[in-house]
A and B are shown apart, each in its own frame.
Chain A
Amino acid sequence: MTYITKPKLHHPSLPKNSVGFTRRDYEGRVSTLCAGCGHDSISASIVQACYELAIEPHRVAKLSGIGCSSKAPTYFLGASHGFNTVHGRMPSVLTGAYLANRELIYLGVSGDGDSASIGLGQFAHVMRRGVNMVYIVMNNGVYGLTKGQFSATADKGSVAKKGAVNNDSGIDLASMAILMGATFVARSFSGDKHQLVPLIKAAISHPGAAILDVISPCVAFNNHKGSTRSYDYVREHNEAVNRLDFITGQAPITAEYAPGTTVEVRQPNGTTLRLAKIAPDYDPSDKAGALAYIQEKDREGEVATGLLYLDSDPHDLHGNIRTVQAPLNSLDEETLCPGSDVLDRINAALR
C-alpha cells in the first residue's frame, strides 16, 4: 500500500468560514491508523478547531517526531507544509522553523514515547525557550508504532506483557511543562471533542509555548493479561507475521462530561481511567496551585483535565532575543551583508 488520496468532492452546500474554506479544506489524507485509534479523533478536533478559527491552512506548519501519533499530521491540514522529523527531536526542528519565520502558526505533534522517553530533553527545552507553538502530545501510554512497549508516561504498577509490571514512575508531561516554563498547559481526552476543540483553539491563540497532553487510547495494544487483544496474545498467536492487520477495528472511545465532574472511561486494556474535569471556578493563573491540583487529583486516582495553567502575559523566544519583526527568511543581502567597505575596515583592524 502506498497512500490513499481522499476524494475531493465538495458538496456545494458545505458551509464556509470567514476566510472562505469549508471544513473539508482542513482535512488531510485518509488515515492509515487503526480504526478507533484515539489519534484520529484528535486529528478531527484539530481540523474542527482550525476551521472554526478561520485559519488559512497554508499559514500553519505541522511538525512531528516519529510514532503513530507523529504520522497523524498527514491526516489533517493537507494544504499545510508538514515535516515528519526524527524520533524525539521535533521540538528542535520546530524551534528552528520558528526562528526562520515568526509569522506562521506552528503545530508540533508528538507521542508519549516521542516526548517523554527519547525526546524528554528537547521537550523540556522547547518549553523553557517559550517557542510560540501548539505542542500536542497524543498520549497512549505505549509505543504504538513499535507494537506496544511501555512508554515513560505509563502508570507505575501497570501490567505489561507476560505480567511484567511497570516499576518506573510515570512522567506527567503537564506538570513537567508547567515546571519548564510553558505558558499554556492543558490536558484533555481524545474522545471529548467538546473539551478538546476549544482547548486547541485557545492554544493556537496563545502567543507562547502551549502544550496539550491529550490522552489517546491505543486500541491495538492493550496489555492486560488474557485479553485476546493483548500484545502477548498477538505475539503468541501470530508469531510469524505479527502484523497490525490482526487487529480488528473498534469504535473510538468517547467521553463527554460536564465541568467539575468526573467520568470513568474503560480503556482498551481493560483498565479504567477516571477523568476529572476542572470546575469553572478553577484558577489557571496560579502556577503552584496548578501543580498541587494535578498532584491532588493523582492521589485520588484521577487525571485532571482542562486548562491547567495559563500565563496570560507569556514570554516568547523572538521577544527574548529581540529579533526584527520581519521573518528572518525574508531578509536580503541589503540587510544581511555588511559589504566590502566594512570588510576593508575589519581587515585594517587585523593587521
Chain B
Amino acid sequence: MRQALTGTALTATNDFVVKFANVNGSGSASANELFARSILRMGVPVSPRNIFPSNIQGLPTWYEVRVSEDGYLGRRGGIDMIVAMNPETWEQDIAEVAPGGYLFYDSTRPLPPSAFRDDVTTIGVPLTAITNATYSDPRQRQLFKNIIYVGALSVLLDIDPKVIESLFGEQFKGKEALIDSNVKALNLGRDWAQQNLDAGICRLKVEARDKVGDRIFVEGNAAAALGCVYGGATVCAWYPITPSSSLAEAFASYCRRYRHDPETKEARYAVIQAEDELASIGMVIGAGWNGARAFTSTSGPGISLMTEFIGLAYFAEIPATIINVQRGGPSTGMPTRTQQADLLSCAYASNGDTKHVLLFPEDPRECFDFSAAALDLADRLQTPVFVMTDLDIGMNHRLCEPFAWDDAKRMDRGKVMTAEELEAGRDFGRYLDVDGDGIPYRTLPGTHKSKGAFFTRGTTKNAYARYSEEGSDYVENMERLLRKFDTAKGLVPQPIVREADSPTRYGALYFGSTSPAMTEALDRLQADGLLVDAMRLRAFPFPDQVRDFILAHDKVFVVEQNRDGQMRTMLSTELGIDPARLVPVLHYDGTPITAHFILGEIRRRLAQYHVVPLERAVS
C-alpha cells in the first residue's frame, strides 16, 4: 500500500486486541458484537468492552475486543489493530496502536501521509465508496457499512464466514430478507478485500479451537436480573440510571416471558419505575416489610439518595436487596465508566452506627448466583444486602460458566412466625434474640387476629417493639445487631484462595471485576517465579479467614478500582489490621483495570522489597 513498514509487523494467532473507534448511534454496536461473537463461535475466547460516552448520538464510542486463546478475559492493555471509523478521534486512536500493529480505515477519501504511522501497517478499504455504490437509502448505507467492514476484517483475520452467516440466521430468525441482505453486505466486504488486499498483509489470525466449552456469553446486568427471577423476587422498583437501567429492564423482560400465569395471563411480579431512588428504595422496603422479595438496582448517585432509607431498613430490620452497578463519580462524573468506588458509601450507608452486607460478584455467573443469594440473605438476616457489581461486568458481554439451578432449592424466607406458631402461644418479641445469633423473629402484617402485631420504627424501642428511649434498651439492641452482623460472616459467599507454588510472605487481595485481570497477572507472576498468594474476597463482613490470610503475610497487596483504597480501609478498621501491612494497588481512571497494570505495580513493589524470583526447579 504505502511506504514500507519500519520494524516488524505483529504476528499473532488467537491472541490480540482489536479496537473499534466509532460514532455513537451509528449502528456499529451490533456489527462489533457480531465480530466478537463470530470469533467466540470459532471456539476462541474473547472479551469485548464498550467504552462509551454519556450521549445518545454523535459522540465517540469504542469497542475493544480482546482475543485470547489462553482464556484471559481481563483487559490486556495496548491495541494491536485499530478499526478507525471516527475521523474525530483519529489521532488519538492511531497513537494507541502498538508498534508493528495495524490500522484499518475507510480509504474512500484520501488522507495526507502525515495521518499515518510508519511503524503501523495501514489497511485501507473504501467502505463509503462500496456502500454508496450499492445502497441509496441513507439508513441502509449507515448500517451496512458496518457489516461491510466486518466482512473485510473476516478476510484479514481468517474468520469463518459460515459462522457469521449462521449468526445472522439466529439473529434474524424468520426474517429471511434481513438475513439475505446482511449476508450480501458481508460478502461485499469480503469480495473487495479478497480482490484488492495482499494475502499476507495482516498477520493477526483467528484459528478455530475448542477453548470455549459450554461457557455462555452474557452481560452481568441480564445475569443479575435472571438471578432475581430465580431467587423469587416479586417486586422490583427502580429509577433509570446508567449503568444499571438494563438490569431492571432485563428483569421486566424475563418476567414477561416466565412469570405470567399461563391461564389468566396475570403477572406474578410487579415492576415499578419510581419517581426517584428515594421512592424506589421505599417501595422495596415496604414490600420487604410485608413479606415479598423485593429489589432495586441503581448506581452511586442513587445510593446517595437512598441512604436515609437504608438506615431505616437496617435498624427496623427489613429485608431489601440493592444491586449497585458501580460507575465513576457523581451524575456529571464518569457515568459511562467503571469503578469500585462505592464500597464505603454502601458498607456504612446512613445515619447512626450502621454496617451492611456486601457481595462482590466477579462475573455474570456470580451476578446470577449472588443476586439470588442476596434475596435469601436479606430474608434470613432481615437487613439490606448489596450486590456490588460495576459497569465493566454489568454492561459488557462476558464469557462465563453457564447458569445452574438446583430445582430442589427452596427460598430461605428466614425467621417468620406463622399464625399457627402464634396461636400455639409462642412468645413473640420482635427484637428478642431467641436463638443467640442476633436474628430476631418477625411477623408479617395480617398474620393473626390478635397476636403478633407490632409497630415498626427505628431504634426507639425495646425488644418487644414497644416505644422506648431507654439507653439500656438502645444499647442492647445495637449489640444484638452486631451479633447479627457476625452471624452474616458465616452465611455470605466465602473467599477463594489461590496459593503460590511455595510459601511466601506476600499476598494479594482483590474482588469483583478485577478478577480476570488479576488471574492473568497472577499467572504471569507465577511464570516469572514471583511468589504471591492471592485471595478473592466475595463478601463483607469479612469471614475470619480473611484476617488469617492477611496475618499470614508480611505484605498484602489490596488491588481495587478506586482512589482511596476503600477496601483497604475496611480491612484495616474491621479486622484491626495495621494499615502498613496492606499495600494499595489502585486503578481508577474509569477504564477497567488491566493485567499489565497489576503486574507492573506488584513487580515494582516486590523489587522495592528486594524480592528475587525463585529459581525454577529443574525437573
Contacts and interface: CB of A to CB of B under 8 A. Distances in A.
Given A3-B468, A122-B282, A325-B266, A97 B290 contact: yes
A350 interface: yes
Interface string A111-130: 00000000001101100010
B449 interface: yes
A351 B272 CA distance: 31
Contacts of B217: 350-351
Which applies to chain B's interface (DSSP): helix, strand, loop or mixed?
loop
A299 to B, nearest CB: 32
Contacts of B266: 322-325
Contacts of A2: 462, 466-470
B546 to A, nearest CB: 32
B455 interface: yes
Contact of A96 (B230, B276, B294, B466): B294
B169 to A, nearest CB: 14
Interface string A61-89: 10100000000011000111111111001
A79 B455 contact: no
Given A96-B235, A99-B287, A321-B270, A73 B455 contact: yes
Contacts of B259: 336, 338
Among B258, B275, B284, B286, which residue has the most Cβ atoms of chain A within 10 A? B286
A256 interface: no
B405 A58 contact: no
Given A3-B466, A337-B230, A346-B226, A92 B282 contact: yes
Contacts of A59: 446
B580 interface: no
Contact of A99 (B270, B276, B280, B316): B270
B279 interface: yes
Contacts of B229: 336-338
Interface stretch (B24-32, B340-348, B406-414): B406-414
Contacts of A333: 232, 409-411
Contact of B455 (A1, A84, A351): A84
B234 interface: yes
Contacts of A85: 282, 285, 312
Contacts of A57: 453
Given A58-B449, A86-B309, A103-B446, A94 B404 contact: no
B316 to A, nearest CB: 8
B498 interface: no
Given A96-B283, A100-B292, A328 B308 contact: no
Interface in B258-284: 258-259, 261, 264-272, 274-276, 278-284
Contacts of B482: none
A327 B291 CA distance: 10
Contacts of A337: 229-230, 232, 405
Interface in B234-264: 234-235, 237, 258-259, 261, 264
Interface string A21-51: 0000000010000000000000000000000
Interface in B518-546: none
A56 interface: yes
A59 B405 CA distance: 37
Interface string B203-227: 0000000001011111000000010
Interface string B446-469: 111110011111100010001111
A84 B456 contact: yes
B230 A343 contact: yes
A135 to B, nearest CB: 14
A350 B33 CA distance: 13
Among A73, A79, A89, which residue has the most Cβ atoms of chain B within 10 A? A89
A338 B312 CA distance: 33
A328 B216 contact: no
Given A101-B445, A324-B261, A94 B453 contact: no
Nearest to B464: A3
A88 to B, nearest CB: 9
A261 interface: no
B444 interface: yes
Contact of A63 (B286, B309, B405, B448): B286
A9 interface: no
A329 interface: yes
B272 A336 contact: no
Contacts of A103: 446
Given A2-B466, A95-B283, A329-B234, A79 B275 contact: no
A146 interface: no
A340 B286 contact: no
B60 interface: no
Contacts of B406: 340
A335 interface: yes
A153 B265 CA distance: 44
Contacts of A91: 279, 282
A240 interface: no
A176 interface: no
A101 B292 contact: yes
B83 to A, nearest CB: 25
A350 B411 CA distance: 26
Contacts of B448: 58
Contacts of A171: none
A92 B283 contact: yes
A97 B309 CA distance: 15
A78 B453 contact: yes
A325 B312 CA distance: 30
Contacts of A324: 261, 264, 266-268
B288 interface: yes
B403 A346 contact: yes
Given A85-B312, A93-B285, A74 B276 contact: no
Contacts of B214: 347, 351
A323 B234 CA distance: 10
B402 interface: yes
Contact of A338 (B230, B274, B411, B456): B230
Interface in B580-610: none
A58 B230 contact: no
Interface string B27-56: 000000000000000000000000000000
Contact of A336 (B234, B446, B457): B234
A7 to B, nearest CB: 15
Given A96-B283, A100-B287, A324-B261, A81 B456 contact: yes
Nearest to A1: B469
A335 B258 CA distance: 9
A331 B454 contact: no
Contact of A81 (B216, B278, B409, B453): B453
Contacts of B405: 337, 339-340, 343
Question: Which 3 A/B pairs are nearest by Cβ-Cβ distance?
Answer: A96-B286, A92-B282, A100-B292
Given A336-B229, A350-B402, 13 more contacts: A2-B466, A74-B455, A79-B453, A85-B285, A96-B282, A104-B290, A324-B261, A331-B232, A333-B410, A336-B259, A338-B258, A340-B406, A351-B215
16 contacts: A58-B448, A81-B446, A81-B456, A82-B454, A86-B308, A92-B279, A96-B287, A100-B286, A100-B290, A101-B290, A101-B446, A104-B290, A104-B446, A325-B266, A337-B230, A351-B214
